[in-house]
Amino acid sequence: MASLRELAQDSKAWPFEEARKLIKRLDGKLPEKGYVLFETGYGPSGLPHIGTFGEVVRTTMVRHAFSVLSDMPTRLFAFSDDMDGLRKVPDNVPNKAMMEEYIGQPLTKVPDPFSNEYESFGHHNNARLRAFLDRFGFEYEFQSSTDWYNSGRFDGELLNVLRHYDDVMAIMLKTLREERRQTYSPFLPISPKTGRVLQVPTIATDPDAGTITFEDEDGKVVEQPVTGGHCKLNWRPDWAMRWKALDVDYEMSGKDLIDSVKVANTILKVLGGKPPAGFHYELFLDENGEKISKSRGNGLTIEEWLRYGTEDSLSLFMYVKPRTAKKLFFDVIPKNVDDYASYTSQYAGDDDVAKRIDNPLWHIHNGEPSLDEQPLSYAVLLNLASVCNAEDRSVLWGFIIRYLPGTTAETAPLLDELAGLAVNYYQDFVKPDRVFRAASDMEKQAMEDLAGRIAALPDDADSETIQAEVYAVGKEHGFDPLRAWFKALYEVLLGQSQGPRFGSFVALYGKSETLALIDEALRGELVAGGAPAA
């Protein structure tokens, strides 16, 4: 049999494609620093959102794929640009008036608006990011821009930028509007008087002394070192400088940064560095098709996803089609939960290693997925929560133990977790918008027929038997396309336009309960606001 490494050479899974690209960049040789460095970047100007998490999980997948293809040691730096000046107060924070007073200050100098628990707003957001990364078990090393600048670890490359000041300026000026060109400088001095990060022109440079001259906010002309945390770099020169200082080998970025990466690569070559490998992932969009933003707080936070979906479903969302723009809002969560279960079944039923390493689960779990069984789909549980008007998971368990005798929350922890998540989703999203409609004459006749057929089935009829009757009724009553029949069932009986396989739902909900639900719907009690039978 072919070895795992040999199979990975031919795998079409995108993490292996990226890993092979990185090996080519390295020419198969270990860098002088003794390891291959992967990096992710985070701007803590707002609370970390799922896009931030996505960059780390995707980079981790490439890192693991690289470890299969190569024996070179690796490290992953999660780098926070926390020395950036606060440009505006985010929409989703408290104490906005207080924060307004700190506009322009480095994020690690802005007081934490949430509490006194953290030293600054930057420290608070960094802690939030680390907490989420730790929850998912990522192996990474957190790095702070503030620490690197203030400790002097960037000093050598800052002096390198100063020596190449004219070259860097020439590159940057081509990318700027005329009005910005008049004030632009790659160096952003920290005002010795106010402590703010200044975006002011550089009047003079002295590479031998390691200083720049600029006009401070009070009009005073100041000569100041570029080292020791007295200056930071504008973001594109900063990106290039950091790649050079750390000798970064791989970093991915969003599609909106394609031009910025090109500029940073050009600067990096001037500084004597080699551009890292990486790819541009597509952006996440909110429910309105707009780009998600940390400062606006649109889209989803990691906490919000995990209130309605599993950790594995979030990782799956990040794995699938990273180069395709995807809607990142609440209604994508149920599908990803059930898609994960489908990939689990595929993985468990396939002994072909070549196919397994192309399965998302292999990459999500570093080659060792747990394959926890999911005996009921999230969609079925969600619709059960809906029809029962469930307030907590115990209501669902009353049906589950009848459908799966001997199953308990202790023996099926994943099922118990999904039951709780389904109740959360129903309470927050389905219940407020649920609208039942009356059945048409054609639909009434079909539902009466369906009720008769369900009543004639044995009490222990399985979901496939029930589903066959549902199909037969739809066909015999002339629903074309057949999905119109299922849509009618969902809208009339469940108050929504989508739902699970109806046979599976009936098998779980129960024969007598389903007959009572159909009867209430046909008598108009659901449309009138009556609660479905529980």
- Residue pLDDT, tens place only, 193-242: 999 999 999 999 999 999 999 999 999 999 999 999 999 999 999 999 99
According to the per-residue pLDDT averaged within each range, which of 121-130, 286-295, 496-505 is highest? 121-130
**142 and 2, same domain (yes or no):** yes
pLDDT at 140: 96
Higher pLDDT, 19 or 494: 19
The reply to whether 393 and 514 lie within a common domain is yes
Residue 412 sits in the same domain as residue 512? yes
pLDDT of 106-140, one tens digit each? 999 999 999 889 999 999 999 988 988 898 899 99
Sequence-separated (6 or more) residues with CB below 8 Å from residue 94: 113, 114
Residue 309 inside a domain? The answer is yes
C-alpha 278/C-alpha 324 separation (Å) is: 16
Note whether residue 123 is domain-resident: yes
User: Judging by DSSP bridges, how do beta strands 211-215 and 253-254 pair with one another?
Assistant: unpaired
57 is a domain residue = yes
Looking at the fold, whether 70 and 117 belong to one and the same domain comes out as: yes
Question: Which residue in the block uniquely carries the two structure tokens 């795998």?
Answer: 11
CATH assignment at residue 499: 1.10.10.350
Which pTM value belongs to this model?
0.91
Domain assignment of residue 306, yes or no: yes
pLDDT at 288: 72
Whether 328 and 383 map to the same domain: the answer is: no
Q: What is the mean pLDDT of the chain?
A: 93
Instruction: Give yes or no: residues 394 and 484 share one domain.
Output: yes
- Cα–Cα distance, 206 to 224 (Å, whole number): 10
Whether residue 383 is found in the same domain as residue 513: yes
Q: Which of 328, 344, 372 is the last residue of a domain?
A: 372
One domain for residues 385 and 312: no
**Is 206 a member of any domain?**
no
119 Cβ contact partners less than 8 Å away, ≥ 6 residues apart: 108, 112
Answer with the one of 352, 372, 392 that is the final residue of a domain.
372
Supply the pLDDT for residue 297.
Answer: 54
Q: Are residues 517 and 437 in the same domain?
A: yes
Across the range 305-334, mean pLDDT stands at: 93
Closest CA to 51 of 297, 400, 352, 347: 297
Residues 436 and 315 in one domain: no
pLDDT at position 261 is 97
* Domain contains 87: yes
Average of per-residue pLDDT across 509-522:
94
- Return the CA Rg of the chain: 29
Give the domain range for residue 320: 1-146+282-372
Domain count, the chain: 2
- What is the rounded average pLDDT of the residues 235-261? 97
pLDDT number for residue 534: 47
Count other C-beta atoms under 10 Å from residue 215's C-beta.
15
Structure tokens at 271: 């500084």
CB 427 within 8 A of CB 393: no
Q: Is residue 232 part of a domain?
A: no
Percent share of the chain, pLDDT over 70: 97
Query: Which pair of structure tokens corresponds to residue 440?
Result: 């048409």
Angle formed at CA 178 by CA 177 and CA 182, multiple of 5 degrees: 115
Are 384 and 345 members of one domain? Answer: no
pLDDT tops 50 at residue 60: yes
Domain with 82 in it: what CATH number? 3.40.50
Q: Are 9 and 19 in contact (CB under 8 A)?
A: no
Kindly state whether residues 465 and 396 are assigned to the same domain. yes
Q: Which residue has the higher pLDDT, 264 or 46?
A: 264
Out of 316, 347, 372, pick the residue that ends a domain: 372
| pLDDT of res. 336 | 97
Q: Is residue 83 part of a domain?
A: yes
